[in-house]
């Protein structure tokens, strides 16, 4: 009589295959759970997912929408991966995106910088805007040990109110009449797009290059090594003489700055004006948290995960348009994916194997 015994052994480094298969498993579980939402709308889940897929990949237009949404997630996601790597919990990317948009719009509308330098100035100031906004939380964390999760998150709401103030008040456009947005930027402040699509290519290329740079920085340089040590244990970092304050400030500065770039990319590449915060960012700052986490905080993997969530956002948008399901559906998917992802992460740290075992041995 043979019995089969399940062996569970812990393993130190999960294999890439295990991570990948478990991640896919987690995604499948999350999508299955989200079907319940469709059922409450009296829509067959299969039909909903078909429309969802069509909205994300079904045509050239759909794919271009997906890529359009990938760009802000990519830029923001790389930054968050960078800061999570150092265990700096920047939850304020949404606000940093908006600050980038504000600073970029300011340069575009009021600086009068001539054409070739205008875009460069917009992106430089946008980066600074996001970075400085993030530094508020970083400085409070480093100097006063104030929890950066709460401060960075609270500042999201403040940033949204600043945008609202500007578009209703001092920056309200001459031609906007009843609507609350600024004047349209001069065309020299518009990012070029690929062909007839709405994909600004500059930010796409910048995003991929930055992903590469950040990957090399984290994996190949001394600074990257210091970031990883601080991320694992601040105590160890201090013992070996790494300045963890400096690392935390840097992580926040970079992640805020990249979110700021994403914000400029949205106003300069897509809207060409500053408008309601919920139009500038479709919750990209929050979704990027999952983008970074799904990529295991690896900037190169962020390229893939950002594309995946770009598809999720444009699929969700398609369902909103065709079936009237609110956009918050994307948050449901985000939450479920994140849950099943972290739950399944446990699985990758164990090795499962089956072993035959006979009666005698079992006793």
Partner 1 sequence: MDLEFWIVTTLNRALAYGTPILLATLGEIYAERSGVLNLGVEGMMILGAFFAFCTTFFTANPWLGVLIGALVAGLASLLHAFLSITLRVNQIISGLALTMLGLGISGTLGRGWEGKILESTIASVEIDYLSKIPILGPILFTNQNSLVHLSILIAFGLWFLLFKTRIGISIRAVGENPAAADVMGINVWKIRYLCVFLGGLLAGLAGSYLSVAYQPAWASGMTAGMGWLAVALTIFAFWNPLLGMVGAFLFGALYHLSFRLQNWVAPEILNSLPYLFPIVVLIIVARFASKKRIGAPAVLGQPYKRGE
Residues near partner 1 (CB under 8 A) are 37, 40, 89, 91, 140, 144-147, 149-151, 153-155, 157-158, 161-162, 164-165, 168-169, 286, 289, 293, 324-336, 338-339, 342-343, 345-346
CB of 224 to partner 1, least distance (A): 21
Choice between 56 and 159, CB closer to partner 1: 159
Closest of 277, 302, 247 to residue 80, by C-alpha: 302
Cβ atoms within 10 Å, residue 206: 18
CB of 160 to partner 1, least distance (A): 9
CA torsion through residues 48, 54, 56, 62, sign = negative
The token duo for 82 is: 């960078």
Choice between 216 and 342, CB closer to partner 1: 342
Choice between 190 and 286, CB closer to partner 1: 286
CB of 141 to partner 1, least distance (A): 10
CB of 104 to partner 1, least distance (A): 20
CB of 280 to partner 1, least distance (A): 15
The CA–CA distances, whole Å, from 322 to 16, 47, 55, 331 equal 38, 12, 10, 18
CB of 292 to partner 1, least distance (A): 10
CB of 327 to partner 1, least distance (A): 8
Closest of 250, 306, 278 to residue 101, by C-alpha: 278
Choice between 103 and 127, CB closer to partner 1: 103
Choice between 155 and 191, CB closer to partner 1: 155
CB 107 within 8 A of CB 77: no
Task: Give one word for 4, left, alpha or beta, with left for phi > 0 and alpha for psi -120 to 50.
Answer: beta
Choice between 191 and 294, CB closer to partner 1: 294
Estimate the crossing angle of helix 201-220 against helix 244-266, to 10 degrees. Answer: 170
The token duo for 24 is: 């896919």
Choice between 148 and 244, CB closer to partner 1: 148
Q: How far apart are alpha carbons 40 and 214 in whole angstroms? A: 43
Closest of 97, 113, 18 to residue 257, by C-alpha: 97
CB of 35 to partner 1, least distance (A): 12
The CA–CA distances, whole Å, from 247 to 218, 233, 256, 259 equal 12, 13, 14, 18
With b for 16 or more beta-carbon neighbours within 10 A and e for fewer, the 145-181 pattern comes to eeebeebbbebbeebbebbeebbeeebebeebeeebb
Choice between 138 and 261, CB closer to partner 1: 138
Which stretches of the chain are DSSP H helices? 16-40, 45-57, 60-85, 93-106, 115-144, 148-168, 201-220, 222-232, 234-239, 244-266, 277-280, 284-294, 299-323, 329-348, 359-362
CB of 291 to partner 1, least distance (A): 13
CB of 154 to partner 1, least distance (A): 4
* Residue 147 three-state SS: coil
Choice between 89 and 123, CB closer to partner 1: 89
DSSP 8-state secondary structure symbol assigned to residue 200: B
Choice between 225 and 350, CB closer to partner 1: 350
């Amino acid at each position: 009589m043979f019995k089969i015994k399940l062996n569970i052994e812990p393993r130190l480094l999960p294999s890439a295959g295990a991570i990948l298969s478990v991640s896919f498993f987690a995604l499948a579980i999350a999508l299955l759970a989200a079907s319940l939402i469709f059922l409450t709308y009296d829509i067959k889940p299969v039909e909903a997912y078909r429309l969802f897929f069509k909205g994300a990949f079904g045509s050239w237009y759909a794919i271009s929408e997906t890529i359009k949404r990938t760009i802000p997630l990519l830029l923001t996601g790389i930054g968050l991966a960078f800061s999570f790597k150092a265990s700096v919990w920047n939850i304020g990317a949404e606000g940093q995106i908006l600050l980038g948009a504000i600073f970029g719009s300011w340069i575009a509308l009021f600086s009068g910088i001539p054409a070739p330098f205008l875009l460069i100035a917009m992106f430089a100031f946008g980066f600074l805007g996001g970075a400085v906004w993030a530094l508020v939380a970083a400085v409070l964390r480093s100097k006063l040990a104030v929890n950066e999760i709460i401060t960075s998150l609270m500042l999201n709401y403040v940033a949204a109110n600043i945008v609202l103030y500007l578009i209703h008040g001092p920056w309200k456009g001459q031609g906007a009449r009843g609507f609350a947005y600024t004047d349209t930027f001069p065309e020299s402040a518009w990012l070029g797009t690929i062909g007839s699509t709405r994909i600004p290519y500059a930010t796409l290329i910048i995003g991929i290059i930055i992903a590469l740079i950040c990957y090399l920085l984290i994996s190949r340089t001394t600074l990257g090594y210091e970031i990883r040590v601080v991320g694992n244990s601040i105590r160890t970092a201090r013992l070996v003489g790494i300045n963890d304050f400096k690392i935390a400030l840097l992580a926040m500065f970079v992640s805020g700055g990249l979110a700021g770039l994403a914000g400029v990319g949205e106003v300069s590449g897509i809207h060409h004006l500053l408008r309601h915060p919920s139009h500038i960012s479709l919750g990209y700052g929050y979704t990027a948290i999952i983008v970074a986490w799904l990529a295991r905080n690896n900037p190169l993997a962020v390229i893939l995960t950002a594309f995946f969530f770009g598809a999720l956002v444009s699929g969700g948008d398609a369902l909103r348009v065709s079936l009237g399901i609110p956009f918050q559906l994307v948050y449901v998917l985000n939450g479920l994916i994140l849950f099943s992802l972290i739950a399944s992460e446990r699985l990758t740290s164990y090795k499962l194997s089956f072993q035959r075992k006979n009666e005698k041995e079992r006793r």
